[in-house]
Structure 1
Amino acid sequence: MSDFNLVDKVEGITKEEFKEQYLSAQRPVIFKDLTKNWLARKKWTFDFFRKQYGEWEIPMYDDSYHDPGNGYMKPTTYKRFGDYLDIIQHKPTSLRFHNFQIMKRAPELANDYKTPTIMDGFMKFALMFFGGQGSALNLHYDIDCSHVFLSHFQTQKVVYLYPPDQSEFLYKLPFTNHSHVDVLDPDLERYPAFKHAKGFKAVIEHGETLFIPKLWWHYVYYSKGGFSLALRANDSIKTKVQGASNLLRLFAFDSGMNYLAGQRWKRYKDNKAIQNAQRAMMNLGVG
């Protein structure tokens, strides 16, 4: 596994300092106090979600999320939300509940957090992510090109990050925003270029917020069962246009080709990613 630099943790930083040191520099950082005035910091517990929304039927995702075929990027099963919360609170599981659009399903939860003022361009769009101990969200970057502010609650989450210029060493799959490399247990015989990737490690505790710059790769690991809120910001018309283009050009095309070609499409992407990584190693004079 590649070596990691630890992501900075800051407190009391100003908007100007954030822009100079992290936003303009495109560097991740963890805010210790961005949520200090949020109701959610104390209110959002396993018991709260269980009591308020435990009867929901929710989609479940696991490690088969990117397997080719009819189940590509689709739920593995459905569970009662309260039952799922019981599982992730008390024992490991690979099942995740992600991309939960709280503004649609439970708009009242928006009263429990505040739009940060640390930068301009925040969207009303918000997502929540739930996972059990040992589960992970595969290595990817956010397709809409937004900056992400990920606030974690109750437990601990670990995020491994890589800047965009490391994409070829990560075996980026063409026409997608994903990689098959398992950051915590990489197959270096199949993915030898990965050992040259230069990354960062962020350990997020309860109430802390990780800033993930646009187009940065991240592998999200639940060291303990818990949940997070992701807010997004976009400070550029150019990246808004790029994000919209990605949604059409990448997501729609990739999903269509998977439907039409299945395993053949997967093999093409895998082989192309390997070729690109081999070229990157040659440019480094290694491999």
Structure 2
Amino acid sequence: MKLKPIEKVSGLSSKEFQEQYLKTKTPVVLKDLAASWPATDKWTWEFLSSEYGHLEVPLYGKDYHKAGKGYMTPTTTMKLGEYLDLIRHKPTDLRMFLYNIFEHAPALSNDFSMPTIMDGFLKNHQYMFFGGAGAKVALHYDIDYSCVFHTHFQTQKECILFDEDQRIHLYNHPFTVQSHVDVLNPDYDRFPALRHAEGYHTILEHGETLFMPMGCWHFMHYVVGGYSLSLRANASLMTKAKGLMNISRHFIVDKGMNKIMGEKWKTLKEDIAHKRADKVLT
């Protein structure tokens, strides 16, 4: 597996961004996209805890993809203030995602603005992500096939990305946008095709924004407990249609077969992923 550093830039015009990164589907870290946002200075641990600590939030553990009744469902719930105190001071694999905090705390939406670096931003799809030190986000690409602008706050987050065409080396589970390889500790005996994968690596610092093109595979590792904001944009009607197809396939096929087959469905997906990768190796 080969990883090269993601370029970090400032002062990009909209035209430069679209020519150099959007059209070429190349990841980049924008150092100043969020520089004028109130959130960059305002969203401290103390602020979020004091203002929104009462919210009851869903949390997900490392068993998120475990087959059966608990497949892709929350592990537990907790008051946001208690959770923030936990991830600020202790390692934990509990993460908060797939929860639109802005529906419950709409005033937070006033602390950032939609970028003008490209068109197509989705105003109703703003999400925050929280995790404790050591927590990992399994390798995947976003199901809606949108472009993602991921801004991190307060701490550091390690990000490993792969272009869409690398999926055959990543053991993509069929009917999903997931892979279960651990790119931090690659097991080349079990996943030999992973040796040939080529990707990108960066450590995202406070206030920096990672641009992930549509279909870009990403693996996130919370070096220190922290939180991020993702804003999404559709590049075209074609990408929107592909996202709808992914969502339908996930909810109809993957979740449906999980209910019927449970662990056998997971094993079948793994077998298919290995057979596809083996064809490339031979």
| Counterpart residue number, 2:264 | 264
Cα pair 1:169 1:197 within 8 Å, conserved: yes
Cα distance per residue 1:177-198 (max 9 Å; x no partner) = 0001011112222111111100
| Counterpart residue number, 1:86 | 85
**How big is the shift at 1:263?**
1.0
* Alignment root-mean-square deviation, CA: 0.9
Pairing of 1:115-154 with structure 2 (within 5 A): 115-124=114-123, 125-154=125-154
Give the aligned residue type for 2:189: E
Runs of 4+ in 1 over 6 A off after TM superposition: none
**How big is the shift at 1:100?**
2.5
Cα pair 2:3 2:198 within 8 Å, conserved: yes
TM-score, L = length of structure 2: 0.98
TM-score, L = length of structure 1: 0.96
Cα distance in 2, alignment partners of residues 3 and 89 from structure 1? 32
Cα distance in 2, alignment partners of residues 126 and 64 from structure 1? 25
Q: How many residues align?
A: 281
Cα distance per residue 1:13-72 (max 9 Å; x no partner) = 111111111000100000000001100000001111110111222111111000101110
Query: Are 1:30 and 2:29 an aligned pair?
Result: yes
| Counterpart residue number, 1:161 | 161
Cα distance in 1, alignment partners of residues 94 and 186 from structure 2? 21
**How big is the shift at 1:3?**
2.4
Cα distance per residue 1:198-240 (max 9 Å; x no partner) = 0100211000000000001000110111000000001201111
**How big is the shift at 1:250?**
2.6
Cα distance in 1, alignment partners of residues 46 and 102 from structure 2? 20
Give the aligned residue type for 2:92: T
| Counterpart residue number, 1:235 | 235
| Counterpart residue number, 1:285 | none
Q: Which runs of 5+ in 2 are unaligned?
A: none
Q: Which runs of 5+ in 1 are unaligned?
A: 283-287
| Counterpart residue number, 2:281 | 281
Give the aligned residue type for 1:18: F
| Counterpart residue number, 1:20 | 19
| Counterpart residue number, 1:5 | 4
Cα distance in 2, alignment partners of residues 111 and 57 from structure 1? 22
3-state DSSP class of the match of 1:79? strand
3-state DSSP class of the match of 1:123? coil
| Counterpart residue number, 2:224 | 224
